[in-house]
Copies of this chain bind each other. A is one copy, B any other.
Amino acid sequence: MQKVITLKDLCLVTKTAPMAADIHGGRAKCLQRLIRLDMPVPTTVALSFDAVRAIAGGQPVDTPQILRHFESAPLLSVRPSSMDPDWGGPGAMLNIGLNNAKHAELIDTIGEDAATRMYMRYIQAFAIEVARLDPEEFYLPDQPSADALRRMLLTYETEMDAEFPQDAGEQLAEVLRSMARSWEGTTARLLRQAKGAPPDAGLGLVVQNMAIPVGDGVSGSGMIQFVDGTTGTAQMKGRFVPQALHSETLREAAGAVFLTRDRRGPSLEDMAPEAFEKLIEFGALGRKRLREEMEIKFILNDGQLSILDAVRVQRSSRASVRIAVDLATSGVIPKEEAVMRVQPAALSELLHRQVDGSAARDIIVRGIPASPGAAGGVLVFSANEAQASASRGESCVLVRRETTPEDIRGMHAAAAVVTLRGGITSHAAVIGRGLGLPCIVGASDLDVDERKRVITAPDGRSFAAGDFVTVDGSTGQILAGAPPLLEAALDDAFQTLLSWADDVRDIGVRANADTPADAQTAHNFTAEGIGLCRTEHMFFDGDRVDLMREMIFAETPEGRAAVLERLLPLQQSDFAEIFQIMQGTPVCIRLFDPPLHEFLPVGKAGMRDLAELLDVPLAEVIARVDDLTEYNPMLGMRGVRLGITVPEIYDMQARAIFQAAVESAQNGVPFAPEIMIPLVSAMREVELVQSRIDAVAAAVRTETGVDFEYKLGVMVETPRAALRAQDIAEHAAFLSFGTNDLTQMTYGLSRDDAGRFMSDYVKLHVYEEDPFHTLDLDGVGELLKLGAERGRKGRPDVTLSICGEHGGDSNTIAFCRAQGFDYVSCSPFRVPVARLSAAQLAIRDRIGELNIKV
């Protein structure tokens, strides 16, 4: 059954016509708004989504219904009007209604040359776009002529077996049908769905009376806006091309005049002062009433101004922040609306340097973008080389098969990191994001010869150590040479926007920070404390790893304690420095987590060195390494299991933390550290660790005569800890969900091994998303929910948080807010994004009350 097209489906755009963006499309609705602002918009008829769908389905077009709104022999344009302009759509068709008679008429008004050029262009567009004829048959000669026009009309007639339609209604019907059908094409559908359009997205069409930009007096096409699309600062920008058909002004500047009076040449302001003034007036009006910076498209015909359209100014991420802040500052929109107008993802671009969008890219290879931002440097192939390079003041890019904790110092020294293996949560990726270091992982198409220190691209080109490359961690591209980079933009607008965000935000945002440098970044981004301070990195630095190895080879608890005694002051000073930086905001320290075998060398050479260092037989080293080897290290002897069976490590760490807290108190900053136990699966683990740590605290209080408070909590990262959260919370002041490991265990899926099939799985929609990238609300989320509910049963005021890689993600924050979590913790460089996301969620909940538009 055919849809009955109603008045609403096919309506003259007036101030009062019943129109909506989700019925007629954004362009149609915007034109109505311009009409309401009394802007000189040519007569316009809007076709609704339903109408266009009916036409695509074969329903005859009721052209008389449309044409009755226009003069008798009109020239018309048809343009697409989907709900979101980003979703694309067919190109505009101009000059519909042009025929032999009109051509003759135009020769009188705009001259033969322009009229013939206009007619031939129209025939060309109609033949190619509407009649779908071979473009090669319809080329435009450099110099149009009556003869050329005749030949073109003949070609059309030969190809179509009918003469070029002379009736405006017939032309219009064909154009509408053609545009309606192109929207239904597979390519168009896929393209718009990739941009987020729903499967049933509709297309509206706008039929408008043409204003002719050629002719007597000041005639021409133009566009104007009042801010810079790159920076967002107030600045008039645009173009006016006299005597130019509109479509051309968008493509080329040839023939354009200045907008404002200029000594160097003619300007719109001089040529048409009244129209110019009107445009400025319309700009201000639009900004105020449409509550947005608009780009206005206009035509002058003999000095007469027509406004064809006005669209949101295209803008960079940086500009989006500045424009939103300026609109709020000047009172056009409330602050909350400004906060809503910036995409959290866009914010993350501002935190990092970017490859200039307009620069040419010489791509060596693509990998997985694991940590955003761009940086260049010379190729190095080991952590040592990276440190050497850095000490020479030379920027470098570290390429490794994969990174291990031993590469940390090399990563610190590098400007960017590339690994061949691993996924979005591999060691390199996690550390890279933590350091704000551009990072690409899983670049498996790259061939690396570590011995020769050469990489080979898929196209066969080789790059050797010392060659300069650029890593674009936002796109995953490794580029040859040094394309121009844009600096990070943490300007005043950025700060203002985030301070407004903080005003409405109702869930805490902390940072995961392991080192003083991380802590400094976290503090700079106004994190409300550290939610996860992993301490194992403190055991890898420099000579410390040798001490750890010595401890592993100690044969008695006393022997272990003696070695740990020497690590104590080093760790204490790490903590003291972090406490100093964080100035009294909370710091949650996770006790030692990794399995001991991570500290042992892997190859024969390393073992030989270690045997020498410890002065033990090589066989003993080999035996110990073999002894500590695990089938599934992820599920092995680590975390609290190590804490209970080798309690000297936690004793030392607790002492280091408390002594640092005392130091801090003595420096006038009383500090209450939070201590977190990893990999808990049973309440009794907490009880046992608690009693030992309480004893250490009592000892330090007695020894120093300084009183201090601290909180002991649990990292919930096994499903069992979530299920047993009630009894665990009876012994824990806080529960922090470690969603990385929790995801691994809930799925039974190692993040290090998932790469082998994850892309297949996402392609086949087995998993909608990589659960290590986007928190799996249906499964892992269920455990968070259960854990939170049960945790509160055990201790009504238990502090709840999340500290996995997911912590900075907007969906995750929404979920945590809904469950009443106290805070999320994420990489320092995700903190601003998280602050904004959290604020937007709070605002969204209060939309009615705040009376804002989003």
A753 touches B679 (CB 8 A): no
A633 touches B636 (CB 8 A): no
B636 touches A783 (CB 8 A): no
Which residues of chain B have C-beta atoms less than 8 A from A632's C-beta? Answer: 632-635, 750, 752-753
A749 touches B681 (CB 8 A): yes
For A681, give the chain B residue with the smallest CB separation: B747
| Contact residue among B684, B746, B757, B766 (Cβ-Cβ distance under 8 Å from A764) | B684
Closest chain B CB from A725 CB (angstroms): 11
> Does A810 lie at the interface of the complex (its beta carbon under 8 Å from any beta carbon of B)?
no
For A687, give the chain B residue with the smallest CB separation: B766
A748 touches B688 (CB 8 A): no
B753 touches A783 (CB 8 A): no
> Are A766 and B631 also in contact (CB < 8 A) when A720-B747, A756-B636 are?
no
Closest chain B CB from A781 CB (angstroms): 9
> Does A718 lie at the interface of the complex (its beta carbon under 8 Å from any beta carbon of B)?
yes
B748 touches A717 (CB 8 A): yes
Which residues of chain B have C-beta atoms less than 8 A from A744's C-beta? Answer: 635
> Does A641 lie at the interface of the complex (its beta carbon under 8 Å from any beta carbon of B)?
yes
Closest chain B CB from A768 CB (angstroms): 9
A257 to B654, CA, bound (A): 75
> Does A270 lie at the interface of the complex (its beta carbon under 8 Å from any beta carbon of B)?
no
Which residues of chain B have C-beta atoms less than 8 A from A745's C-beta? Answer: 635, 719, 745-746, 748
* Chain A window 731-773, contacts with chain B (Cβ cutoff 8 Å), 1 for yes, 0 for no: 0000000000100111111101100110011001111000000
A644 touches B764 (CB 8 A): yes
> Does A326 lie at the interface of the complex (its beta carbon under 8 Å from any beta carbon of B)?
no
> Does A137 lie at the interface of the complex (its beta carbon under 8 Å from any beta carbon of B)?
no
Closest chain B CB from A7 CB (angstroms): 46
A679 touches B724 (CB 8 A): no
Which residues of chain B have C-beta atoms less than 8 A from A635's C-beta? Answer: 632, 634-635, 744-745, 747-750, 753
> Are A636 and B685 also in contact (CB < 8 A) when A717-B748, A745-B719 are?
no
> Does A645 lie at the interface of the complex (its beta carbon under 8 Å from any beta carbon of B)?
yes
> Are A760 and B681 also in contact (CB < 8 A) when A630-B753, A635-B634, A741-B748 are?
no
Which residues of chain B have C-beta atoms less than 8 A from A766's C-beta? Answer: 644, 682, 684-685, 688
> Does A637 lie at the interface of the complex (its beta carbon under 8 Å from any beta carbon of B)?
yes
B746 touches A723 (CB 8 A): yes
> Does A779 lie at the interface of the complex (its beta carbon under 8 Å from any beta carbon of B)?
yes
Most buried by B among A688, A741, A746: A746
> Are A688 and B764 also in contact (CB < 8 A) when A632-B752, A635-B749, A757-B645 are?
yes
Which residues of chain B have C-beta atoms less than 8 A from A62's C-beta? Answer: none
For A724, give the chain B residue with the smallest CB separation: B779
> Are A720 and B779 also in contact (CB < 8 A) when A635-B750, A753-B632, A753-B636 are?
yes
Closest chain B CB from A444 CB (angstroms): 11
Which residues of chain B have C-beta atoms less than 8 A from A723's C-beta? Answer: 746, 778-779, 782-783
A764 to B767, CA, bound (A): 41
A679 to B641, CA, bound (A): 26
Which residues of chain B have C-beta atoms less than 8 A from A756's C-beta? Answer: 636-637, 645
Within 8 A of B (CB), among A644-699: 644-645, 679, 681-682, 684-685, 688
A724 to B779, CA, bound (A): 7
A783 to B748, CA, bound (A): 14
Which residues of chain B have C-beta atoms less than 8 A from A749's C-beta? Answer: 635-636, 681, 718
23 contacts between A and B (CB under 8 A): A630-B752, A630-B753, A631-B634, A632-B632, A632-B750, A632-B753, A634-B635, A635-B750, A637-B753, A637-B757, A644-B766, A645-B757, A681-B748, A681-B749, A682-B766, A688-B764, A718-B747, A719-B746, A719-B748, A720-B776, A723-B778, A723-B782, A741-B748
7 tightest A-B CB contacts, nearest first: A635-B750, A632-B750, A718-B748, A720-B779, A636-B753, A631-B752, A719-B719
